[in-house]
Structure formats: C-alpha cells, structure tokens
C-alpha cells in the first residue's frame, strides 16, 4: 500500500515537472517574430507595410504601416506598431537601417495597431497629440486587454505606453528634416498628421486608408471629411496612408472620402427602410468597393458604430398616450 | 465518457461536428450547459435543432454591452413562443416573445459576460425548434472596448421613439426606449428593467407580447414584424418597468397607399 503511494507520488512529481516544463518548449522552439520587411519609399525612408487584414492571431496585429526616416540626428519613426515585441524589433531594425539611435517616435492616434509598440522606446522620445497621454491612461488597459484576447502571445510584455512629449502644431526640426505637425481629427478625436517638408512626404495616419476599408470605431465622419479637405490642400510628393500602399497623388484621400460617403449613405438608407443592425450588415455594397480589402467586415463594424446614433436621434418621438 | 451520455443522446459520433444535420437532437454548438438550459427553460417539451431558426450575429463583437442579435424563424411560418437563451450569461434567459399576431422574428441588442452560444428556441405546439450560433467576446479590429462609464438619461426616462413601416406581408415596427436595464449585479444599483412590452392594435388586441430579461441592453432597441391589423391607424405600445411604472405610446401606421413602395423589398 505504502509502496503504491510512493510510486504514485513519484509519478505525480515527474508528471508535474513535465507539465511545468511543457509551456516553455514551444516558446523556445519557435518564438514569435514579426517578419519586418522595410521598403525604401524615398531616399533614406523605409515603410514597413501592414497586412491588409483585421487584427488576428496570425498577423499579431501588424496591420498598420510604420515608417522609419533617417536624419543626421538619428532615426525618426511614424507610429510604433501593435505590441512591445513589435516595438523591440522595430527599434533594432531602425538602428540597423540608419546606423543611429531612435531619437523620435511620433504616434498618430490611440489605436492599438499604431501605439502599443511604443513601450520599447524611451518615453522621452515618444510624442503624441496633447490628449494622447491622458487617453492612454484612461483607456489603455482596455486597449491592451482587447489585443491580448485577439492576438494572443504576440502581445507578451506589452503594457500601456506613456508618451513623454506632446507634439504641438508647428514645425519640429530633426537634423535636416522638418516635420510640420498638423493636429487633425475625425478618424479618432485626435489624429496627428505629419508633413516632412524636405522630402514632401505626407503622413496622414489613419485619416487615409488606401485599398482597404477605413475603420470607424471612434470616427466623426463630418470632422473626418474636413480633415481630408485640409490634407488635400497640402502639395505632397508621396502619401503614406495608415493602411495601404504608398503612392504619389491623392487617390487615398479621395478613396477614403468616397468610402465614408458610401458607408454613411448605405446606413442612412437602411435606417430609413427600417433595417436593424444585422440586416443592414448584409446589404449589398457598390461595385467599386470590391477592390478594397476587408470591406464586408469593416462595413459591418461601421453599422454597429453609426446606426445607433441615427436611432437615438431620428426615430420619431412618440407622445405618451 | 459515461457521465456525458445523458447530455448527448447521439454520443456514437462525438467528433462528427462537420456532419451536422439540418435538424436533430444533438447540440450543434456542443455546449456543456445546453442540457441544463433545456431543462430549465423548455418546460419538459421535446426540442429539435432546426436550421429554420436563424440567429444572426455580427462578425465581431464591438461592444459587449450592445451586441446586435436577430432571431428569424419566419421559415417555420407561425410560432407560439420564442425564447432567446445565452448559455454562459449570468442570466441565460434573455427575452421571451409571444408572436400572437406577428412573425416569429425579433431583433434587439444584448449584453454578454463572455463568449457564449446565443440560442433561439421557437415553440410550435409541443415542440421547440432550436437554432443558435456561438458569439465570441469583444476585441478586434482597431477598436477599444468601451470603458464602462454608464450614463442614465433620467430626464427622459421612458421616452419612446418608434416608427412603423408597411411591408408586403405585414408591418415592421422599430422602437427605442430610453431606459436603463440594470441587472442588480452591480453594487448599489438595484434591479431596474423594462420588464414587459406589448404591441396592440387600435381595438386593444395584442399582436405581440415581450418579456425582457436582464441581458437586454440599456435603452431597449427592438424590431418586430406584427401583422397588419384589420382596422385602426396606429399601434399601441405598452411597457411596464420593474417599479410598476407603465409607458403607453401610439405609433401611426403608414397609409396602405404607401405599402410596398416604402417597405423593404
């Protein structure tokens, strides 16, 4: 009897050890690594393209475009990616590409796919709009919670960034480059756009999507259209959208505006015909949108974002009988 | 394995998920709680899983406090009762609809605690027809799950916005009531719900009767498909909350002339 018990305990101990060791094995065997592939879009400027997809466990949230600019003072980044792991890889890549440390990281807006990599950098070198720091303090934990759920282990070690610097409207000179800061809004309540005057590169953040449907969880379509008008008046040489290919010209600006118009018109039409959320999600979209990535998914999300406001405001008020 | 068998009558094919049939008695969602749900809410009547009962959900949960759900059992024709059940919610029973003179259809918004099967059980006589889908919890896209900072609009408590559309085969009613749906689970906030809601014609005949439960989202927003009453130019909505306050409003029915033009095609 006691012999048996001993065996059981030993077996149990051995099993316990194995169980404790197991979780480490896959991590050691195949650590998750973002395959960052920089594309030189202009002399000494590289963009790492985001996948034209929703955030998934397969892409680790690497869906936004991130750009590295070389300056005589050091590397400058536009956005930091979706996780600490991404930020760490991005930092190493920027140092390798430029041969200099990262002196400035500009965060365009609060969404997870753009900001959560910022924890890999010295907070004093991380800049955002005036409200970003406070917004991250308030909503940052929800942001990381959501990302841990969706992207899983890619997020390991990711916390809430605390940008140490505010980028005010005006021009910031770093080395030979001059960054004009444009505080705009519409995609979120604060979208920081940058125009690098020496190269003519325009960074509108997520105010411009190209060949991918724009996202609207925090959108104010009216302000967004106003911001697009402001952007279209800037005489740029190359536009780097938050998501989608880098191009000369204003195709991204026009396409984003057209998508917003289409989404609002479809939702307004469905509302006036009495459709509820899931019914409206299934409505057809115009043919021109078939060229965009994740169209149905983003349209469905936009219905959830925008229809409730119409119901609250535009359903006729009934008088108590 | 043996302890599972009373829950799963068709245990002979435990892994045959892909071989799901259009109707049967085995839970296509494989939820361990379903037998308990059936016992608690289906009153001992038999149940079949039936594709004629559709639960339509969004492709992603943006806001766990306002998940849009549509239950559509029009393929069954008429029905006596429709239940919506979320297996893994603290209060699984979400809503009960008696479509007295209405289609077995309801669209609404609900709160979820976590990822859960969302079921619709539609009773025709002595048989429940059950459909459902799994709803994943929030997180996705580049959205921030909303910080729970609930605002109650006390000044317009009970304010009802509603509109009726004429459709080819009846009416479509959409309504939104300004009212919290407090579950009583948060500290110092007692249960406070719209509990009952009915739709009647001008003569007072009930067309649809709803019982709303805790999981229904704040400011209940509903779509129903009542039959066109023979007479009268308006529908009457009667609601009662857990404090016993009643709210009654009239919603005009558009003239027959616009039927088919204005309606959903």
Give kind and range of the element (H or E) at residue B62.
none
- The candidate with the shortest Cα–Cα distance to B177, out of B211, B221, B213, is B221
Q: B206: helix, coil or strand?
A: strand
Helices (H), A63-176: 84-98, 112-115, 132-151
- Write out pLDDT tens, residues B179-194: 999 999 888 889 999 9
- Categorize the per-residue pLDDT at B260 as very low, low, confident or very high, splitting at 50, 70 and 90: very low
Residue to test with chain B: of A209, A277, A317, most B Cβ within 10 A:
A277
Write the CB contacts of B155 (distance below 8 Å, at least 6 apart in sequence): none
The answer to whether the CB atoms of B163 and A312 lie below 8 A apart is no
Q: What is the mean pLDDT of chain A?
A: 92
Quick check: B167 pLDDT over 80? yes
Query: What are phi and psi for residue B30, nearest 5 degrees?
Result: 50, 40
Greater confidence, B163 or B150?
B163
In sequence order, what are the beta bridge partners of A108?
none
Contacts of B110 in chain A (CB under 8 A): none
Domain A31-246 has CATH 3.40.50.920: no
Q: B220: helix, coil or strand?
A: coil
Quick check: A14 pLDDT over 80? no
* Nearest chain A Cα distance for residue B49, angstroms: 22
Quick check: B265 pLDDT over 50? no
Greater confidence, B188 or B258?
B188
Quick check: B8 pLDDT over 50? no
Contacts of A114 in chain B (CB under 8 A): 142
Biggest CA pair distance of chain B: 63
Q: B56: helix, coil or strand?
A: strand
- Write out pLDDT tens, residues B210-230: 999 999 999 999 999 999 999
Give the residue from chain A lying closest to B63, CA to CA. A304
Q: What is the pTM assigned to this prediction?
A: 0.87
What pLDDT score does B149 carry? 56
- Contact map slice: B 110-139 vs A, CB within 8 A: 137-139
- Write out pLDDT tens, residues B36-64: 999 999 999 999 999 999 999 999 888 88
Give the residue from chain B lying closest to A64, CA to CA. B142
Quick check: B85 pLDDT over 50? yes
Burial classification of residue B5, based on how many CB atoms lie within 10 Å of its CB (0-12 exposed, 13-18 middle, 19 or more buried): exposed
- Categorize the per-residue pLDDT at B259 as very low, low, confident or very high, splitting at 50, 70 and 90: very low
CB of A207 within 8 A of CB of A170? no
Segment A206-210 mean pLDDT: 98
What pLDDT score does A31 carry? 79
What pLDDT score does A291 carry? 92
* Whole-angstrom Cα Rg for chain B: 19
Which of A112, A142, A274 lies closest to B174 in CB terms? Answer: A274
What pLDDT score does B139 carry? 55
Contacts of B174 in chain A (CB under 8 A): 274, 276, 311, 315
Segment B82-96 mean pLDDT: 96
Contacts of A305 in chain B (CB under 8 A): 62
Give kind and range of the element (H or E) at residue A256.
helix A251-272
What pLDDT score does A146 carry? 86
Quick check: B264 pLDDT over 70? no
Quick check: A41 pLDDT over 70? yes
* Nearest chain B Cα distance for residue A273, angstroms: 6
What pLDDT score does B52 carry? 97
Which of A54, A275, A296 lies closest to B140 in CB terms? Answer: A54
Write the CB contacts of B221 (distance below 8 Å, at least 6 apart in sequence): A308, A311, B108, B109, B174, B175, B176, B177
Q: Can you tell me the distance from the alpha carbon of A82 to that of A115, in angstroms, rounded to the nearest whole number?
A: 6
- The candidate with the shortest Cα–Cα distance to A149, out of B25, B145, B263, B201, is B145
- Domain layout of chain B by residue ranges: 22-138+155-258
Q: Can you tell me the distance from the alpha carbon of B172 to that of B254, in angstroms, rounded to the nearest whole number?
A: 11
Contacts of A242 in chain B (CB under 8 A): none
CB of A93 within 8 A of CB of A38? yes
- Write out pLDDT tens, residues A105-123: 999 999 999 999 999 999 9
Segment A181-185 mean pLDDT: 98
Give the residue from chain A lying closest to B105, CA to CA. A276
The answer to whether the CB atoms of A300 and B58 lie below 8 A apart is yes
What pLDDT score does A175 carry? 97
Q: Can you tell me the distance from the alpha carbon of A315 to that of B221, in angstroms, rounded to the nearest whole number?
A: 11
ipTM: 0.86
- Write out pLDDT tens, residues A46-84: 999 999 999 999 999 999 999 999 999 999 999 999 999
Work out the percent of chain B whose per-residue pLDDT is above 70: 83
- Contact map slice: B 213-252 vs A, CB within 8 A: 219, 221, 223, 236-237, 247-251
What pLDDT score does A16 carry? 46
The answer to whether the CB atoms of B145 and A146 lie below 8 A apart is yes
Contacts of B165 in chain A (CB under 8 A): 273-274
Quick check: B204 pLDDT over 80? yes
- Write out pLDDT tens, residues A231-255: 999 999 999 999 999 999 999 999 9
Quick check: B257 pLDDT over 60? no
- Categorize the per-residue pLDDT at B11 as very low, low, confident or very high, splitting at 50, 70 and 90: very low
Segment A291-295 mean pLDDT: 95
- Domain layout of chain A by residue ranges: 31-246
Quick check: B143 pLDDT over 60? no
What pLDDT score does A150 carry? 87
Write the CB contacts of B156 (distance below 8 Å, at least 6 apart in sequence): B178
In order of A86, A240, A261, A291, B230, the CA distances from A128 in angstroms are 19, 18, 29, 33, 63
CB of B185 within 8 A of CB of B90? yes
What pLDDT score does B256 carry? 63
Contacts of B241 in chain A (CB under 8 A): none
Quick check: A24 pLDDT over 70? no
CATH homologous superfamily of B22-138+155-258: Immunoglobulins (2.60.40.10)
* Nearest chain B Cα distance for residue A97, angstroms: 28
The answer to whether the CB atoms of B144 and A217 lie below 8 A apart is yes
Contacts of B139 in chain A (CB under 8 A): 145-147, 149-150
- Categorize the per-residue pLDDT at B152 as very low, low, confident or very high, splitting at 50, 70 and 90: confident
Quick check: A6 pLDDT over 80? no
Residue where the block lists tokens 């934990």: A141
């Amino acid at each position: 009897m006691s012999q048996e018990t001993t065996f059981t305990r030993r077996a149990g101990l051995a099993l316990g050890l194995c169980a404790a060791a197991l979780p480490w094995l896959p991590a050691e065997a195949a650590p998750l690594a973002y395959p960052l592939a920089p594309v030189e879009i202009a002399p000494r400027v590289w963009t790492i393209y985001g996948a034209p997809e929703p955030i998934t466990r397969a892409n680790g949230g690497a869906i936004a475009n991130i750009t590295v600019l070389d300056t005589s003072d050091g590397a400058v980044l536009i956005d930091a990616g979706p996780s600490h792991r991404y930020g760490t890889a991005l930092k190493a890549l920027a140092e390798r590409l430029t041969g200099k440390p990262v002196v400035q990281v500009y965060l365009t807006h609060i969404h997870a796919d753009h900001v959560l990599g910022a924890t890999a950098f010295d907070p004093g070198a991380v800049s955002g709009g005036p409200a970003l720091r406070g917004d991250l303090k308030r909503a940052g934990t929800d942001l990381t919670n959501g990302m841990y759920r969706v992207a899983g282990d890619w997020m390991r070690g990711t916390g809430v960034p605390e940008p140490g610097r505010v980028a005010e409207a005006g021009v910031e000179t770093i080395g030979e480059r001059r960054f004009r800061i444009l505080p705009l809004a519409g995609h979120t309540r604060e979208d920081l756009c940058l125009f690098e005057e020496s190269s003519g590169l325009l960074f509108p953040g997520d105010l411009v999507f190209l060949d991918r449907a724009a996202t609207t969880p925090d959108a104010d379509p009216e302000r967004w259209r106003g911001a697009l008008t402001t952007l279209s008046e800037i005489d740029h040489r190359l536009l780097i959208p938050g998501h989608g290919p880098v191009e000369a010209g204003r195709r991204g600006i026009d396409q984003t505006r057209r998508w917003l118009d289409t989404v609002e018109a479809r939702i307004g039409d469905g509302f006036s015909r009495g459709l509820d959320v899931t019914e409206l999600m299934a409505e057809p979209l115009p043919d021109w949108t078939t060229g965009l990535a994740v169209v149905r998914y983003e349209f469905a999300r936009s219905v959830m974002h925008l229809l409730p406001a119409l119901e609250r405001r535009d359903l006729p008020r009934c008088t108590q009988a | 394995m043996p302890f599972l068998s009373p829950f799963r009558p068709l245990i002979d094919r435990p892994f045959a998920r892909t071989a799901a049939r259009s109707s049967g008695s085995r839970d296509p969602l494989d939820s361990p709680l379903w037998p308990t749900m059936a016992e608690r809410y289906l009153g001992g009547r038999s149940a079949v899983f039936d594709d004629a009962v559709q639960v339509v959900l969004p492709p992603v949960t943006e806001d766990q406090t306002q998940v849009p759900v549509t239950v559509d059992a029009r393929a069954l024709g008429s029905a006596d009762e429709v239940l919506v059940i979320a297996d893994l919610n603290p209060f699984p029973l979400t809503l009960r609809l008696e479509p007295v003179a209405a289609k077995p259809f309801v669209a609404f918004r609900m709160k979820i605690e976590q990822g859960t099967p969302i079921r619709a059980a539609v009773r025709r006589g002595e048989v429940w027809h059950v459909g459902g889908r799994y709803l994943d919890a929030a997180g996705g896209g580049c959205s921030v799950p909303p910080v729970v900072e609930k605002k109650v609009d006390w000044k317009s408590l009970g304010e009802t916005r509603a509109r009726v559309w004429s459709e080819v085969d009846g009416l479509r009613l959409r309504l939104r009531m300004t009212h919290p749906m407090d579950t009583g689970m948060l500290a110092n906030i007692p249960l406070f719900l719209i509990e009952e809601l009915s739709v009647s014609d001008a003569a007072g005949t009930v067309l649809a009767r709803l019982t709303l439960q805790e999981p229904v989202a704040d400011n209940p927003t509903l779509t129903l498909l009542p039959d066109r009453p023979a007479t009268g130019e308006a529908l009457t909505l009667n609601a009662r909350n857990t404090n016993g306050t009643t709210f009654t409003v009239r919603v005009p029915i558009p003239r027959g002339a616009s039927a088919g033009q204005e309606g959903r095609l």
